[in-house]
Structure 1
C-alpha cells in the first residue's frame, strides 16, 4: 500500500519534542497583504475560495510569502472556475497542499492548534511505559 514511509510500530512512543516554532506568528503581516488584490475582478466562487483561506486556522501562521502564494494562485483558481481542467486543478491542489489544505497535509506538516503555553513542553502525565526519573531519584536511585 502506498504511503509516506514505513508503517509505525504498534507500541511506538514519540520521545522527541515536536518543534512548532515555525507556526508562531512572530512576523507582523500587513493587512493589505491579507486582502485579495483587485477583488472585484474575480468571480464570487474565487472570492469565496479566498475568504475560506483567509478565515482558516492555518492562515494565522501564514507569513507574507504564504499570502503571496495565495495571491499567485487566485488567477489560476479563477481560470479553473471558468473552465475546469485537470491540469489547473492539479496545480491548485499541489500549492494548497503545501499550505496545509487538508487534514492529511496538516498532519504531515505537523500543524496543530496547541493550547499549551509557550515554552511549556512538560506533559501533564507520563506515558505508562516511561519511568519518572525524579521519583526514581527520590527513592534512592542514581
Structure 2
C-alpha cells in the first residue's frame, strides 16, 4: 500500500525550503579522553534520622555502559564538556539500575542527546561510514537492485 495523501511537490517548486537564516559557526574541537567513574561518598539516613556516609558503589550495568561509551565511534570527538555531561548521565543510569523508576525518562532524554540508539542517530543526522560503504557495495554488486535497473532494457510495445 502506498503512503497516505498526495505525493509531495518537487523540492524546486516548494515555497518554503526551511533554510537556516543564520550561518553556522565552525569551531575546532579538542577531543579528550574518557575519565574514569569517580569515587565519592553518599549520605544515608536511617529510620531514626541518623546519617552515615558510605562509599557509592557503581552498578555493574553502569560500568559496562560506561565502557561501551569508551569504545563507541561517537566518543572519538567527545570534548571534556561532553564527557562531563555523560558522567552526569552515568549517575542517572546508576539510579535507574538501582531501582529508581523516576530515573528512566531522564536517562532516555540524556542518552538520546549523545546518539545512543539508531533513532537518535537518525535524528542527529549521524551516519556510520560502514552503512554508506554497504549501500555502495549493494548498488555495485546488484545492478538491477533498484526499480530503474529492473526495467532497464525493456521497451514499450505498440
Both proteins in one fold, TM over 0.5: yes
Cα deviation, residue 43, structure 1: 1.8
Cα deviation, residue 45, structure 1: 1.1
What is the TM-score with the length of structure 2 in the denominator? 0.51
Cα deviation, residue 34, structure 1: 3.0
Structure 2 residue corresponding to 1:27, chosen from 21, 25, 30: 30
- The answer for the alignment partner of 1:110 in structure 2 is 125
Q: Which of the pair has the greater relative contact order for Cα pairs under 8 Å at 6+ separation? A: 1
Q: Deviations over 1:16-41 (max 9, x none)?
A: xxxxx97x983141x3x432222983
Residues 25 and 61 of structure 1 are in contact (CA less than 8 Å); yes or no, is this contact kept in structure 2? no
Structure 1 residue corresponding to 2:58, chosen from 35, 42, 63: 42
What is the TM-score with the length of structure 1 in the denominator? 0.56
Give me the whole-angstrom Cα distance separating, in 1, the residues matched to 2:86 and 2:74. 13
Q: Which has the larger radius of gyration?
A: 2
Give me the whole-angstrom Cα distance separating, in 2, the residues matched to 1:81 and 1:36. 16
Q: Give unpaired runs (5+ residues) of structure 1.
A: 1-7, 14-20, 116-142
State yes or no: 1:59 paired with 2:104: no
Give me the whole-angstrom Cα distance separating, in 2, the residues matched to 1:80 and 1:10. 46
Counting only pairs closer than 5 Å after superposition, residues 1-142 of structure 1 correspond to structure 2 as: 9=8, 26-29=29-32, 31=33, 33-38=34-39, 41-85=57-101, 87-114=102-129
Q: Give unpaired runs (5+ residues) of structure 2.
A: 1-6, 13-24, 41-55, 131-158
Q: CA RMSD in A?
A: 3.6
| Aligned residue pair count | 100
Cα deviation, residue 53, structure 1: 1.4
Give me the whole-angstrom Cα distance separating, in 2, the residues matched to 1:82 and 1:12. 50
